[in-house]
Structure 1
Amino acid sequence: MTTVPTVLSIALGETSAPVLRPLPEEVAALLAEVGAPPRLVAHLRAVHDVAARLLDRVGRRDPAPPVDRWAVLFGAATHDIGKTLHPDELSGPGSRHEEAGRDLLLAHGVSPGLARFAATHASWGSPDAGLEDLLVSLADKVWKNKRVADLEDLVVAELCRVSGRPVWQEFLDLDEFLTVLGEEADLRLAWQAAHPVHG
């Protein structure tokens, strides 16, 4: 099992290559409490950082879309927490962690509105998916420079709905930004891989 100092140091400690924002302290404490594996904590921190950068970009728009910044950051920081219960999905495919993650968060007193991201981060095509859900899903892909056209199209459509700008303009702006994010993917992947799958 992962020790608390290891989880907390991965979640909150300074990083240099890449430079990553620390996870929120309450999330770090929760990850320590549930015994999250080191690689999972590293993954969540990388996705959280990318989500924060996406939010910064979206927030600079005029008009800025109404986005619950805390919900997106919390969702990105906990979206895969169910892999604590299904560690085989840390290094292989699987979706059991999605519902398990939501249930784990609910059991630890997290509101359903925040716990939902653990269950929905892979189902961005759902008619219930709002911009917050789409941004968590997008961060979970682009942190490793994986581009998913259907997901990006949904984000563009939501941004167009708020801004009234033409689709091509929103698409080009998002594409340019995601390309820049992708340039640091190798550093994020190497940082994550430096942490063991098991504690």
Structure 2
Amino acid sequence: MSSYRPLPEEVVALLETVDAPPRLAAHLRLVHDVAVELVEWFEQRGVVVDREAVLFGAATHDIGKVLHPAELSGPGSQHEPAGYELLVEHGFPERLARFARTHASWTEQGIEFEDLVVSLADKVWKAKRVQDLENLIVERLPGEAWEAFMALDDVLDRIAATADTRLAFQAAHPS
């Protein structure tokens, strides 16, 4: 039994409905778990975060890969708009479905803090650090920029330190 937080029930039901591969479900669970840690950290710092949106976004950001299975193990971005459409078709509101479309587009206009948090969780779960993305988050944190940077860096280092365990968990699930 793993210690990773379970996905929300409505996401589990959706994954079953669309016959998502076990490895995709494991990946979504891991990114969701990291997103919970990040949201809790932001909330402890007094940052207002739409918890429901971020956690749903992290739990579904790659759902479009069920329609573009080549992107499960290789590069590609067709899953992003496809995932958004799939979520909308299954009755999820745009405010939640958008993360499937925005999780790799953090430099576009209109990106909200919650979009950045989902993008960050999708990177740091495997210890990937993206300075441009992290800088965008730091710019939106309260207080002195250098203090916010140092605090964010500490939490991301802590999360990244356990990436090998998460990668092994994901790899244990068949594609």
Give TM-score scaled by structure 1 length: 0.87
Work out which of the two has the higher radius of gyration on C-alpha atoms and give 1 or 2: 1
- The DSSP-based 3-state class of the residue aligned with 1:187 is helix
Contact 2:88/2:97 (<8 A) preserved: yes
Aligned position for 1:172: 150
Determine the C-alpha separation between the residues in 2 that align with 1:153 and 1:109: 34
1:93-112 C-alpha deviation (Å, 9 max, x unpaired): 00000000000000000001
Query: Superposition RMSD on alpha carbons, in Å?
Result: 0.7
Give me the identity figure in percent.
61
Aligned position for 1:151: 133
Query: What is the number of equivalent residue pairs in this alignment?
Result: 175
Aligned position for 1:69: 51
Aligned position for 2:168: 190
Once the two structures are superposed, the pairs formed by residues 19-168 of structure 1 within 5 Å of their partners are: 19-61=3-45, 64-159=46-141, 163=142, 165-168=143-146
Determine the C-alpha separation between the residues in 1 that align with 2:154 and 2:47: 19
Give TM-score scaled by structure 2 length: 0.98
1:127 offset after TM fit, Å?
A: 2.1
1:130 offset after TM fit, Å?
A: 1.0
Determine the C-alpha separation between the residues in 1 that align with 2:168 and 2:6: 17
Amino acid at match of 2:146: W
Name structure 2 gaps, 5 residues minimum. none
1:126-161 C-alpha deviation (Å, 9 max, x unpaired): 1211110000000000000000000000000011xx
